[in-house]
Homo-oligomer: A and B are copies of this chain.
Amino acid sequence: MIDTLLRKIDAMKNPTVVGLDPTLEMMPAHLKAEMFEKCGKNPEAVGKMFLKFNKDIIDSIEDIVPAVKPQIAMYEKYGLEGMKAYLETIEYANQKGMIVIGDIKRGDISSTAAAYAAHIEGTEIEGESFDLWKEDWVTINPYLGIDGIQPFIDACNKKDRGVFVLVKTSNPSSSQLQDIVVNNKTIYETVAELVKEWGTQSMGTMGYSRIGAVVGATHKEQGEKLRAMMPHTFFLVPGYGAQGGTGADLKGFFDKDGRGCIVNSSRGIIAAYKKNDKYGEKVGEAARDAAISMKADLQY
């Protein structure tokens, strides 16, 4: 899957992933009206809106963007109906040949992490396999150390899928823990070293590991330092666009061949229709234009 991701980015010349993080506020009026009429004002209606909205985005970008990243929290907010929309979104993106990064940030002790690893590995029942979540990649949290990570590494090896471990997140208060310095090294650098080491257990054939890292676009210098520290670790880079990161900030996150990263934009793409009246409620058209601009911004 790391090889597939690299090849797909190369082929499209576009290291972008579109974050499918829908909110009710983001839905166009006609779609809200349609689903509320059909289902009532309830979670089922919201789930159906999210799915239709996501399909519109996917249809509009699938030929120019290699991957999507649904943020599970946005769906979990609407309970089971939301989770259903999350799963159906993934299924649809899979059908269209897009790579799916499930932004789930799970993390727990070993036996529990093994259960969460079903996101990657699937689930066995009486000898039969069920791939119930279908993400190609997921994000995971390192606070509990290696025994919460190992089940995911094993699953990645088994299924040729991948994970991105949180190293340096894009939010302002990421500094509270992640930037604490100990022996001239920050906590996020300590995590980076662990991720690098863990990654050796699961190398692809093109120089990068299936065990990647989340490195926020909002931290230019840290990203450059991490790129140098972790030459075989692929980065998922959130925080571009709405959170403040720009293409110019990110040059140093890539390796000398212009590889090694996939940069996420969520609101900047999927809610682009709200930024310019000319789009009206044409969500997909605006998303495609925004994705084309982002691609241009990321050519070095």
Residues of chain B within 8 A (CB-CB) of A46 are: 125
Once A42-B125, A171-B145, A174-B145 are accepted as A-B contacts, the answer to whether A130 and B187 lie under 8 Å apart by CB is no
Q: A173: which B residues are within 8 A, CB to CB?
A: 144-148
Given contacts A41-B125, A71-B112, A146-B176, contact A132 B79 (CB under 8 A): yes
Identical copies in the complex: 2
How many residues in A have their beta carbons less than 8 Å from beta carbons of B? 67
A298 contacts B by Cβ under 8 Å: no
- Which of A57-65, A80-88, A270-278 binds B? A80-88
Given contacts A142-B143, A187-B187, contact A130 B42 (CB under 8 A): yes
Listed residue (A108, A123, A147, A194) with the most chain B CB atoms within 10 angstroms of its CB: A108
Contacting chain B: which of A113-121, A251-259, A279-287, A288-296?
A113-121
Whether B74 contacts A115 by the Cβ 8 Å rule is yes
Report chain B residues within 8 Å CB of A172: 145, 147
Query: Chain B residues near A238 (CB, 8 Å)?
Result: 109
Minimum distance in angstroms from A269 CB to a CB of chain B: 16
Query: Does A228 belong to the interface (CB within 8 Å)?
Result: no
CB pairs A–B below 8 angstroms (25 shown): A23-B115, A41-B126, A42-B130, A71-B115, A73-B106, A74-B115, A77-B116, A79-B133, A80-B80, A80-B84, A80-B87, A105-B106, A109-B169, A109-B170, A143-B178, A144-B173, A144-B174, A144-B177, A145-B176, A147-B171, A147-B173, A177-B187, A180-B187, A181-B182, A187-B187
3 smallest A-B Cβ distances: which pairs? A145-B173, A79-B132, A145-B176
Binding site for B on A (CB under 8 A): 21, 23-24, 36, 41-43, 45-46, 71, 73-74, 76-80, 83-84, 87, 103, 105-110, 112-113, 115-116, 118-119, 123, 125-126, 128, 130, 132-133, 141-148, 166, 169-178, 180-182, 187, 190-191, 194, 238
